[in-house]
Structure 1
């Protein structure tokens, strides 16, 4: 008898459980070694700390780490379609830093980043876009450095996207926040990046939840 009752309960509960899984919204963090958590592991990268914040609120969003160490804008463009096989509700773009370090043509970098955004919007028109601003060291000259920095606010404005101004500005020169290479954040640095990202992301998630409740 108990087995029959258990089976009946499962029959009624299973569709609801599956519905809950299907309705979970994905936040795709698409980036390079910063997003991937180089040196600290994906579990200590800022998307993982974002997931902790989401879980603490009981919100139905999943933070997906789409970071790849060494990724350039061209590399990101080559794999974005594969990453978009599953629905995306919010897309966080953290790419271009490696382009700058390699002195890649600025127009090429901006074009690649724009093409990535275009593919996200074409497949998921309702997805919200967040762009993290990047800067490069001054060794490539002031003209390149200035124009590189301008790529990100320009992209945000042209695509009606949210911008997190220069993502790593509070980390530089602090050994507690940056690893010895001076490029990649420590775990504490990633926690700071999560706080910066959360300030922009949280209102978007609230809006997405409100949309779900009215549909």
Structure 2
């Protein structure tokens, strides 16, 4: 029997940017470790690419979707905000990705990993970002982790000097956050 596969598709937060050994310490690797412990036959693919925006990720999604995909985990949007892309473009790009996954792998559940903006970011642009992930999850009836960096963002000892990328200790918390919902997703498949 072929092992089931979970694709983690995202940016540097998925890839594990700055970690000494992302293959062991990024949150997809920590999820793989948990899956191995519970022995349910899932293999994790880390398809994170540092610097990816929803625009650049769209260009590489087709090649990623050629892989066996039993669960698709989508984490993107932070770099779009940093680069000043409009919330409506980000939402449209994420929707397009969700549509492509559903088209190519109709039976694969999708888990969306949300981003939140710090409250101190002002203006209409920030307001537009605040509900993207909840809207997409509701509209597409997909699973959602509302804030990937819950319990990690803004906590200096859990993040690198840049204040954006988690350290290994931060990724441990992120993996626990994602695992709670991913477990539910896997249960719906049985």
Coarse TM-score class (shorter-chain normalised): over 0.9
Tell me the TM-score normalized by structure 2: 0.94
Any runs of at least 4 consecutive aligned residues in structure 1 with deviations exceeding 6 A, and if so which? none
User: Which of 102, 109, 131 pairs up with 1:128?
Assistant: 109
User: Which of 117, 123, 144 pairs up with 1:142?
Assistant: 123
Match for residue 188 of structure 1?
A: 169
- Does the aligned pair in 1 maintain the 2:58–2:97 contact within 8 Å? yes
- Does the aligned pair in 2 maintain the 1:138–1:145 contact within 8 Å? no
Please state how far the C-alpha of 1:207 moved relative to its aligned partner.
Answer: 3.0
Please state how far the C-alpha of 1:135 moved relative to its aligned partner.
Answer: 2.4
Alignment of 1:70-149 (within 5 A): 70-137=51-118, 141-149=122-130
- Does the aligned pair in 2 maintain the 1:35–1:45 contact within 8 Å? yes
Tell me the TM-score normalized by structure 1: 0.83
Task: Provide the aligned length of Structure 1 versus Structure 2.
Answer: 188
Q: Which one scores higher on RCO, CA 8 angstroms, separation ≥ 6?
A: 2
Q: What residue ranges of structure 2 are gaps of 5+ in the alignment?
A: none
Question: Which one has a bigger Cα radius of gyration?
Answer: 1
Q: 2:141 & 2:127 partners in 1: Cα distance? A: 22
- Does the aligned pair in 1 maintain the 2:12–2:51 contact within 8 Å? yes
Higher helix share: 1
